[in-house]
Structure 1
Amino acid sequence: MQSLIPLFLIAGAAVGVEIALTRFFAVASWSEYGYWVISIAMTGFAVSGVVMVLGREAFLRHARWLLPALPIAMLAVGGAGWIGATLNGFNPLELQNPATAEAQLVNIALYYAALFPFFFLAGLAVSLNFVVHAGEVGRVYGYDLLGAGTGAVLALALMFVLHPFALVPALLPLLAVAAMISGGTPWRIGALVVLAATEAAVFGLAAPRVNEFKAIYAPMNVPESRVVAEVLSPRGVYMLLDNFTERLDTDVSNNAGALGIPAPPRSFGLYRDGSRIAALPMEQPEAAHARASLDGAPYALLDAPRVLALGGAGGFRAAEALALGASHVTVIEPEPVLRDALLHGFGPSPAPAADPRVTISAAHPLTAAGRFDLVDIAGDFLGADDQNRNVYTADALAGWLGRLNPGGMISVPIGIRELPVYAVRVLATAREALRLAGIAEPARHVVVIRSAWNLRVLIAREPFDEARVGRLATFADERSFDLSYAPGLPAEGRDIWNDLPPVSLESSMVEQGGEAQDAVAREAEQVLAGTPPQDAFDRSPVTADRPWLSPLVRLPALGAALARIEILPQQEIGLLVNVAVLAQAIVLALVVSLLPLLARGTLRVSLPVLGRALVYFPALGLGFLLIEIALIEHAALLLGDRTSGFALVLTSMLIFSGIGAMWAGRVAAPGRALRLAVLVAVGCSALALLGVRPAVLAALDLPWAARAAALVVALAPISLALGFPFPLGLDRFQREGAGLLPWAWALNGAFSVVATPFANLLGHGAGLSWLLAAGMVCYVGAVIAWPRERP
Structure 2
Amino acid sequence: MRLVYIGIALLAGSILLLEVALTRVFAIMLWHHLSYMVISVAMLGLGGAGAILTCVDSSANASRPRTHPRALRILSIASALYGLSVIGALWLAVQIPIEMLNLLDQKSELLKLGLLYLIIAVPFFFGGAAISLALTHFVSRVGRVYFSDLLGSAMGACGGVVLLASLGSGATVMVTAGLGLIAAACFGWGAERSLRSFSLACLVAGALVLGSASGWLNAAGLPPWQPEIPFAPGKELHFDEPIEGIDRLFSSTAEVQILPETGLPGISGGEFGKLGQDWIRGRFVAQDGTAPTALYRQGANLDLYPQLDDSQTAAPYVALEARNAPPPKVLVIGVGGGLDVMIALAMGAQSVTAVEFNEAMIEMVTDRYAEYIGGLFSPDAHPLADRVSLFHGEGRSWVRSHPDRFDVIQMAGVDSFTALSTGAYTLAESYLYTTEAVKDFYDKLEDGGFLSYSRFIMRAPRTPRETLRLVSIAAQALRETGIAEPGLQIAVFQGWHWAVTLVKKGTFQASEIQALNAFADREGFVGLTYNPLAAGPNDLPIRDNLEKSDHEARAARSGLFWKLLRGNAAERSSFIDQYPYDITPSTDNAPFFFNYYRYGALFSGDVNASSEMESRYHPEVPVGHMVLLASLAQVSMMAGILILLPLFFLRRSHSIQIARIAPVFGYFAALGAGFMFVEIALMQKMILFLGHPTYAVTVVLSTLLGGAGIGSLLGDRLLQLTPASLVRLLAALVGLLVLEMAASQWLLGALLGLPFSARVAIAIGLLFPLAITLGMPFPLGMRLLSDRNPELLPWAWSINAFLSVLSSTLSIILAMAFGFSTVLWIAVALYIFGFWGMRSWIRTPSP
TM-score between the two structures when normalised by the length of structure 2: 0.83
- Where do 1:107-122 residues align within 5 Å? 107-122=112-127
5 Å-filtered alignment, 1:478-517, equals: 478-481=522-525, 482-487=527-532, 488-492=534-538, 494=540, 495=542, 516-517=553-554
Give the gaps of 5 or more residues in structure 2: 214-223, 377-381, 420-427
2:174 pairs with 1:169: yes
Note if contact 1:68-1:187 (Cα within 8 Å) is conserved in structure 2.
no
The residue aligned with 2:289 is 274
Selected match of 2:375 from 322, 341, 351: 351
**Which of 148, 156, 160 does residue 151 from structure 1 map onto?**
156
For the 8 Å contact 2:249–2:257, the answer to whether it is kept is: yes
Are the aligned partners of 2:402 and 2:753 in contact in 1 as well (CA < 8 Å)?
A: no
Aligned length: 771
Structure 2 matches for 1:87-486, cutoff 5 A? 87-96=95-104, 98=105, 101-183=106-188, 184-191=192-199, 208-217=229-238, 226-227=245-246, 230-250=248-268, 251-256=270-275, 263=278, 265-276=280-291, 278-283=293-298, 284-286=300-302, 288-302=306-320, 303-311=325-333, 312-313=335-336, 315-339=338-362, 346-349=369-372, 350-352=374-376, 353=382, 355=384, 358-360=387-389, 362=391, 364-367=397-400, 369=402, 372=405, 374-382=407-415, 389-417=430-458, 420-481=464-525, 482-486=527-531
Counterpart for residue 778 of structure 1: 830
Q: Distance in 1 between matches of 2:93 and 2:12?
A: 21
Say which SS state the counterpart of residue 382 (structure 1) adopts.
coil
CA distance in 2, matches of 1:395, 1:288: 37
- Equivalent residue number for residue 19 of structure 1: 20
SS in 2 for 1:234: coil
Shift of 1:316: 3.8
Q: Is the 8 A contact 1:334 1:365 kept in 2?
A: no
The runs of 4+ residues in structure 1 deviating greater than 6 Å are: 194-207, 384-388, 496-501
- Percent identity between matched residues is 26
Deviations for 1:371-405, whole angstroms, at most 9, x for unmatched residues?
75633313143369899932222112123333433
C-alpha deviation, 1:523, in angstroms? 1.4
- Specify the SS of the correspondent of 1:389: coil
What is aligned with 1:507? none
Match of 2:717 in 1: 666
CA gap 1:345/1:124 in 2 versus in 1, 3 angstroms: closer
Q: Which amino acid aligns with 1:351?
A: G
2:679 maps to which residue? 628
Letter in 2 for 1:92: M
Cα deviation digits, residues 455-479 of structure 1 (max 9, x gap): 0111123233545433332332332
The alignment partner of 1:242 has SS state of: strand
Structure-2 change in CA distance of 1:500 and 1:376 (3 Å)? farther
Structure 1 stretch displaced more, 645-654 or 431-440? 645-654
1:440 deviates by 0.8
Q: Which range moved further: 599-608 or 662-671?
A: 599-608
- 3-state DSSP of counterpart to 1:555: coil
Aligned residues of 2:436 and 2:588 also touching (Cα < 8 A): yes
Cα distance per residue 1:64-120 (max 9 Å; x no partner): 532322222223333322222121222212215x1xx21111111211221222212
The Cα shift of 1:688 comes to 2.6
Would you say the 8 A contact 2:231–2:289 is kept in 1? yes
Distance 2:18 2:363 in 1: 31
Q: Tell me the CA shift for residue 556 of structure 1.
A: 3.0
Displacement after TM superposition at 1:356 (Å):
7.8
Unaligned runs of 5+ in 1: 502-511
Name the stretch that deviates more: 232-241 or 596-605: 596-605
Deviations 1:289-322 (A, max 9, x none): 2332212222232222533322345554344224
Task: Report the residue type matching 2:436 in the other structure.
Answer: D
Preserved contact between residue 546 and residue 763 of structure 1 (Cα < 8 Å): yes
Q: State the SS of the aligned residue for 2:432.
A: helix
Q: Give, as a single letter, the amino acid of the residue that structure 2 aligns with 1:10.
A: L
User: How far did residue 235 of structure 1 move?
Assistant: 2.8
Gap change, CA 1:631 and 1:499, over 3 Å in 2: farther
**Contact 1:15-1:151 at 8 Å conserved across structures:** yes
Corresponding residue number in structure 1 for 2:219: none
Match of 1:650 in 2: 701
CA contact (8 A) 1:500 1:518 kept: no
Which of 317-326 and 547-556 deviates more? 317-326
Q: Which amino acid letter does the alignment assign opposite residue 178 of structure 1?
A: A
Is the deviation greater in 776-785 or in 68-77? Answer: 68-77
Q: Secondary structure at the match of 1:409?
A: strand
* CA positional deviation for 1:211: 3.0
Q: What secondary structure does 1:233 align onto?
A: coil
Deviation at 1:452, TM superposition (A): 1.0
Paired residues of 2:690 and 2:760 also in contact (CA < 8 A): yes
Aligned partner of residue 548 in structure 1, secondary structure: coil
Deviations 1:114-158 (A, max 9, x none): 122221222221222222123232222222222222333344433
Per the alignment, residue 424 of structure 2 pairs with none
Aligned residues of 2:184 and 2:202 also touching (Cα < 8 A): no
Amino acid corresponding to residue 355 of structure 1 in structure 2: L
The match for 2:75 is 67
Tell me, yes or no, if the aligned pair for 1:219 and 1:243 is still in contact at 8 Å: no
Aligned to 2:564: 527
Partner deviation per Cα, 1:19-64 (whole Å, 9 max, x = no partner): 2222211232223322232111111122222212222251743535
Alignment partner for residue 629 of structure 2, among 565, 569, 579?
579
* Aligned AA (1:121): F
**Does structure 1 retain, via aligned residues, the 8 Å contact 2:681–2:823?**
yes
Contact 1:247 1:269 in 2 (8 A): no
Q: 1:467 to 1:152 in 2, by over 3 A?
A: closer
1:649–1:562 distance in 2 versus 1, CA, 3 Å: farther
SS in 2 for 1:243: strand
Answer with 474-483 or 187-196: which moved more.
187-196
Aligned-partner Cα distance in 2 for 1:514–1:319: 32
The 3-state SS of whatever aligns with 1:541 is: coil
User: Helix, strand or coil for the counterpart of 2:661?
Assistant: helix
3-state SS in 2 of match to 1:390 = coil
The match for 1:85 is 93
The Cα of 1:628 is off from its aligned counterpart by 0.2
Contact 2:170 2:227 in 1 (8 A): no
Equivalent AA in structure 1 for residue 802 of structure 2: A
Aligned partners of 2:158, 2:241: CA distance in 1, in Å? 32
**Compared with structure 1, are the counterparts of its residues 174 and 330 closer, same or farther at alpha carbon in structure 2 (3 Å cutoff)?**
closer
Q: Which moved more, 1:301-310 or 1:351-360?
A: 351-360
Amino acid at match of 1:573: V
Contact 2:101-2:616 at 8 Å conserved across structures: no
- Separation in 2, partners of 1:193, 1:618: 39
User: Post-superposition shift, 1:354?
Assistant: 5.6
2:802 alignment counterpart: 750
Deviation at 1:695, TM superposition (A): 4.0
Partner residue in 2 for 1:556? 600
CA distance in 1: counterparts of 2:753 and 2:720, whole angstroms: 45
Q: Which moved more, 1:266-275 or 1:348-357?
A: 348-357
Amino acid at match of 2:536: P
1:236–1:335 CA distance, 2 compared to 1 (3 A):
closer
- Structure 2 residue 105 is matched with structure 1 residue 76: no
